């Protein structure tokens, strides 16, 4: 595996992570249904409820060691002449629909492939303007829909829906890749219309996740860069007629802002929505109201930001909401797709995974907790004008540590450890939910998670949930507006890396970074990334293993972006880590049974399907520009000999 060379490179990449990761965010510059039980992969999350489970068992514990690469496909994304490559992330998960694989590139080009050979069947280029600056440069995938009113073979009887970097919703004929002429204008709906987007930077309003499909509606949120100013546009969620593209309903996550502060924006749903068609529900995960790190101009709990909300899928009517973070000051968006599963007494349930590592289990129909949720007192802000929530909700299940002490610091040398200890002592740190401050506050876990957009997988046969977690210390300092320009220039002149958020319209800007020692590794004791298995019926952790490594000879775990999937063969597959390996773990013990070094970073979630009697495992390996992993354009499939 060339461990020394590979891991040495990873340490260098870890250091570069400080400068690269998330910089674009701040710069203007169900009831288990047929899909869940099938051996295909018909939606981004495996099924509309995000189980990421396959009943396929041809590949199993006893033979996974024989898994080999059987085909590869190159998207050609690296041939794009654009400066956006430094941000580009190949995060797509293909879906299998009508015996074709469908996937997207970071630049929103859609491909249809033969599932058995990887041969290209068609491609569609929406001609996104790649000379513009975009907050995010990624696309996590597409959704599919069958028109029950259409005749077999009719154009657009089978449709592919997806959103773009420049905020368009596009409908394509699944057979040919041609735009559906009756949908919107020539196959396209402009999502920036009626969304109060800010004209000075259209690249801050996008769609990066696959839309949800509920009967004859396609439902979509948005990705909003929410730290560069207060007035970034409202994070509305809209449902469109899947045939015509006409708006059927609109839901505003923060209607209170109309009266208390009409300039407040965001609260947007940038991650993947989940659908329970049987109960006519769609589940919306939302992020923070703008800006993330100062709430003095958005007083109160800020419902329904930082929440999961159940809406009536057919009408958009509010059914219930659960707020995971009150008055967010830490960029603790609900980044994970809500996972729909069945509770032990048959109750329809949903599990909400969070960046804090808290996993909340609720009744899917009412929002009532099925495992205990308690409101605990949390540290209060001393920042002028800020009014912190006195309590925050805590779950029975916590996937990451909530405590951190100077004695927990780690480094390759005593000097590294001392540097980290002194940094913690000089900062404000009173446990999770310590608010941002003028002196600088420790935020742990940092805004990368806990659990991020990779979401969780659930095995209904073993009632086990699997998730990838991050355990990285963030550091946030608030900067008074009068000092913001001078401090920004001073840090840049001294090559102190991190990122600044203007938070224009608020009395404070911000500087944030992650705490790495001078030696280039995170300050806290490893593991820095894990894969964890939890029994959802009891809330108990069954196993946990470091995910990846960056220090030779040590299982440190790494920062990871991407999620796991689980199969009836007793296997959990995941890439996501910075060492570029795709791994298979025993779902009951966590033992690593197989790994494969990908040609580029695997910052995507794998999927699996059976085609003509053979089970395939597929992952996009194209790396992540802001994370600093090796970039590429490969989709690779594995199968048994």
Catalytic residues: 331
Q: Which helix (H) or strand (E) holds 615?
A: strand 614-621
Q: What is the rounded distance in angstroms from the CA atom of residue 44 to the CA atom of residue 213? A: 11
**Nearest CA-CA partner of 573 in 540, 537, 613, 602:** 602
Give the pairing of strands 223-224 and 237-241. Answer: unpaired
Cis status of the peptide bond prior to 99, with omega within 30 of 0:
no
For 521-576, the DSSP string reads: SBSBPSPSEEEEEEETTTTEEEEEEE---SBTTB-----B-S-EEEETTTEEEE--
- In sequence order, the 6+-apart residues with CB closer than 8 A to the CB of 125 are 109
The alpha helices in 235-364, defined as continuous H runs, are 257-260
Q: Which helix (H) or strand (E) holds 614?
A: strand 614-621
- Spatial contact of 30 and 278, defined as CB atoms under 8 Å apart: yes
- In sequence order, the 6+-apart residues with CB closer than 8 A to the CB of 194 are none
23 in helix, strand or coil? Answer: helix
- Spatial contact of 558 and 550, defined as CB atoms under 8 Å apart: yes
Q: Could you tell me how many residues make up the chain?
A: 641
Residue 296 CB neighbours (<10 A): 16
- Spatial contact of 525 and 472, defined as CB atoms under 8 Å apart: no
For 385-430, the DSSP string reads: T----SEEEEESEESS-----GGGB--SSHHHHHHHHHHHHTSB--
Residue 53 CB neighbours (<10 A): 26
- Spatial contact of 278 and 49, defined as CB atoms under 8 Å apart: no
Q: What is the rounded distance in angstroms from the CA atom of residue 234 to the CA atom of residue 94? A: 30
Residues forming a β-bridge with 367: none
Give 3-state DSSP helix, strand, coil % of the chain, rounded to 5: 10, 35, 55
- Spatial contact of 509 and 526, defined as CB atoms under 8 Å apart: no
Q: Which helix (H) or strand (E) holds 491?
A: helix 481-493
């Amino acid at each position: 595996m060339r461990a020394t060379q590979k891991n040495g490179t990873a340490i260098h990449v870890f250091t570069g992570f400080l400068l690269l990761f998330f910089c674009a965010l701040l710069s203007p510059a169900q009831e288990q249904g047929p899909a869940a039980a099938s051996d295909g992969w018909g939606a981004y999350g495996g099924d509309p409820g995000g189980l990421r489970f396959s009943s396929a068992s041809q590949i199993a514990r006893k033979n996974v060691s024989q898994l080999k690469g059987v085909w590869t496909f190159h998207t050609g994304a690296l041939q794009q002449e654009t400066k956006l490559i430094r941000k580009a992330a190949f995060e797509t998960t293909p879906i299998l629909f009508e015996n074709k694989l469908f996937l997207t590139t970071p630049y929103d080009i859609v491909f249809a492939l033969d599932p058995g050979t990887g041969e290209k069947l068609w491609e569609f280029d929406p001609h996104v303007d790649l000379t513009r600056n975009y907050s995010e440069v990624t696309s996590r995938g597409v959704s599919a829909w069958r028109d029950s009113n259409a005749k077999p073979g009719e154009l657009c009887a089978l449709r592919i829906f997806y959103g773009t970097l420049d905020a368009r919703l596009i409908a394509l004929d699944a057979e040919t890749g041609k735009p559906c002429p009756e949908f919107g204008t020539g196959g396209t709906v402009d999502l920036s219309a009626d969304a109060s987007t800010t004209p000075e930077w259209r690249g801050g309003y996008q769609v990066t996740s696959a839309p949800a499909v509920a009967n004859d509606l396609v439902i979509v949120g948005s990705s909003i860069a929410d730290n560069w100013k207060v007035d970034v546009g409202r994070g509305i969620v809209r449902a469109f007629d899947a045939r015509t593209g006409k708006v059927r309903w609109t839901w505003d996550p923060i209607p209170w802002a109309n009266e208390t502060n009409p300039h407040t924006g965001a609260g947007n749903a940038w991650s993947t929505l989940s659908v329970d068609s049987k109960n006519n529900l769609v589940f919306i995960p939302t992020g923070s109201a703008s800006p993330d790190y100062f709430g003095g101009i958005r007083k109160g709990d800020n419902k329904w930001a930082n929440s999961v909300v159940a809406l009536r899928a057919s009408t958009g009517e509010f059914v219930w909401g659960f707020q995971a973070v009150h008055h967010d000051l830490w960029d603790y968006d609900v980044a994970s797709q809500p996972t729909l599963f069945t509770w032990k007494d048959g109750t329809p349930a949903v599990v909400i995974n969070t960046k804090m590592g808290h996993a909340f289990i609720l009744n899917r129909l009412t929002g009532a907790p099925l495992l205990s949720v308690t409101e605990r007192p949390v540290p209060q802000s001393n920042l002028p004008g800020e009014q912190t929530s006195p309590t925050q909700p805590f779950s029975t299940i916590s996937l990451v540590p909530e405590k951190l002490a100077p004695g927990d610091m780690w480094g390759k040398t005593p000097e590294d450890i001392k540097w980290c200890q002194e940094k913690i002592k000089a900062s404000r740190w009173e446990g999770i939910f310590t608010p941002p401050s003028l002196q600088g506050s420790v935020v742990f876990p940092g805004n990368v998670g806990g659990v991020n957009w990779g979401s969780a997988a659930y095995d209904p046969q073993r009632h086990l949930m699997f998730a990838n977690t991050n355990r990285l210390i963030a550091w946030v300092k608030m900067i008074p507006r009068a000092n913001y320009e001078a401090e920004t220039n001073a840090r840049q002149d001294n090559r102190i890396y991190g990122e600044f958020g203007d938070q224009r319209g608020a009395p404070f800007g911000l500087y944030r970074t992650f705490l790495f020692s001078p030696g280039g590794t995170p300050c806290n004791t490893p593991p820095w990334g894990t894969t964890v298995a939890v029994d959802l019926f009891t809330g108990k952790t069954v196993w946990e293993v470091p995910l990846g490594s960056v220090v030779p000879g040590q299982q440190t775990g790494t920062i990871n972006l991407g999620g796991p999937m689980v199969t009836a063969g007793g296997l959990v597959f995941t890439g996501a880590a910075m060492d570029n390996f795709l791994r298979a773990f025993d779902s009951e013990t966590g033992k690593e049974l197989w790994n494969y070094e990908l040609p580029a970073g695997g910052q995507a979630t794998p999927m699996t399907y059976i085609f003509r009697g053979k089970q395939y495992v597929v992952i996009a390996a194209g790396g992540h520009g802001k994370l600093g992993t090796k970039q590429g354009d490969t989709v690779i499939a594995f199968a048994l000999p």
